[in-house]
Amino acid sequence: MVGLSLRRGQQEGLAKYTFAPAECEAQTKALHEACDFLESVYLATCNRVEVVFLCRRGTPVSEYRKRVHGFFATRDQAGTASEPTARKAAQSLHAFEKDGAAEHLFCVAAGLDSLNPGDAQILGQVKDALHMAQRLGLAGAHLQLVFEEAFQAAKRVRSQTAIGARPVSMVSLAFDLIDERTKLPATVALIGAGEMTRQCGEHLRGRTGCNLLFVNRTLGKVANLAASCGGRALALDAFLAAPGRLDVIVTSTSAREPLLGPAFFAALQGAAPLVIDLAVPRDTDVDAAAVAGAQLFDIDHLKVQAERNRRAREAEIAEARVVIDEALEALRRRVVERDISPIVRDLRSQGQAAADELLKQLFNNGLAKMDEAHRDHIRRFGQQVVNRLLHMPTVGLKRLAQDHGMEAVEAFLRGVRDEHREP
């Protein structure tokens, strides 16, 4: 895995590695081809970007990190990855391989690596990322196995530990800000048509004196949501041109450039609003908001509060890590069983072939007059001998693979083959 999260970087840096929805599938395929992955899954949320991939044998993860760097650094100006901030973000990309990569994926899926431990949204986002990769033909059986175990681990964390009993997300921090800093009656504009907009609308629905405006470039995408929440749907262009009086703005769109700029803030009536910007990159021009006197809280601001929440939940995180460790051990067993099975079958086939050849010589010489019934009895006995003789080395090879990886098993088998070739 190679990636970047808000826990280790800033919002602007993360934006450089985030594909716009319209280009996501095409760019994900381009990333896969440019980096020469065998299999890959691209995951992007408001909190992180992760590339989960299967390496070619002999190519270290550090080399793949350079390739990921290079892909984003050479994107066109729409990606703006050539700016100094993009170079700084590239240097902060984390990289994990083998058990470390599996562990990181498990923690991501379970919400343990989120700004808010126990994030209830991340598991669905990880599932969506895998499904997209499978639909594009980028993820196969190897990654599917690892992701399936990650999903099961995440479900156990949520059902068996205290961290799952009180799930929180980035949008829940937005709820806290709205509740703490807004007095009713108030007009709240929700910009965007995604999950965060839906959750904010449902959180505020039915509050006396709360006037909800659902704003989106395509009006039809928010019309039903606005109706179900007792609000009004507005087209983005009309809203930006004449926003009227607003108390709160919550924005989370996929726009590549700020929507709320100097012209928007100049068109506002009354006092400057509370602005909660959950978009990556930001929907708000920071300088324009400051000049207007707006209270702006973006993901970088929410990150500070999230870290406080995280420290308060360290005991719950430790409890969840026990579940993750158990799941990682289960994954190791499944991977070993999968990888060692062809080797075991080959050993048994070779052992049985050697036994058959020796029995054939025996039947053609010393036991040439033995009837077929007795020969079958001896053949079955030979199979039992082969199975018993191979049982101990089979168990040993599985343990070797679990403790030291398949490379150790392959080295052992090469040594055995080399020994047999010697005169």
Residues 122, 257 within the same domain: no
Residues 178, 272 within the same domain: yes
Residues 259, 290 within the same domain: yes
Lowest mean pLDDT among 8-12, 33-37, 332-336: 8-12
Residues 162, 175 within the same domain: no
Domain that holds residue 43: 2-167
Tell me how many domains the chain contains: 3
Query: How many CA atoms are closer than 13 Å to the CA of 287, on its beta-carbon side?
Result: 2
Residues 359, 400 within the same domain: yes
Average pLDDT, rounded, for the chain: 85
The alpha-helical segments, DSSP class H, found in 253-371 are 262-267, 286-292, 299-312, 314-364
Single out the catalytic residue among 24, 35, 46, 107. 46
Residues 105, 245 within the same domain: no
Is the pLDDT assigned to residue 77 strictly greater than 70?
no
Decide which of 319 and 155 is more confident.
155
Q: CATH number for the domain including 144?
A: 3.30.460.30
Q: CATH number for the domain including 205?
A: 3.40.50.720
Residues 14, 134 within the same domain: yes
Residues 259, 339 within the same domain: no
Lowest mean pLDDT among 233-242, 286-295, 359-368, 372-381: 359-368
Residues 403, 275 within the same domain: no
* Domain finish residue from 284, 304, 324: 304
Q: What amino acid is encoded at 94 in this protein?
A: H
* Domain finish residue from 150, 167, 184: 167
In tens, the pLDDT along 360-412 reads 888 888 777 788 888 888 888 888 888 888 888 788 787 777 777 777 777 77
DSSP codes of every residue in 147-168: HHHHHHHHHHHHHHSHHHHS--
pTM over 0.85: no
DSSP H helix total and E strand total for the chain = 18, 10
The maximal CA–CA distance of the chain, rounded, in angstroms, is 110
The residue to which tokens 């993901």 are assigned = 299
Reply yes or no on whether 35 is catalytic.
no
Residues 163, 198 within the same domain: no
Residue 325 lies inside a defined structural domain of this protein: no
Reported confidence tier of residue 421, pLDDT bands at 50, 70, 90: low
Residues 133, 24 within the same domain: yes
> 289 near 275, Cβ under 8 Å?
yes
245: how many CB neighbours lie within 10 A of its CB?
Answer: 12
Residues 216, 198 within the same domain: yes
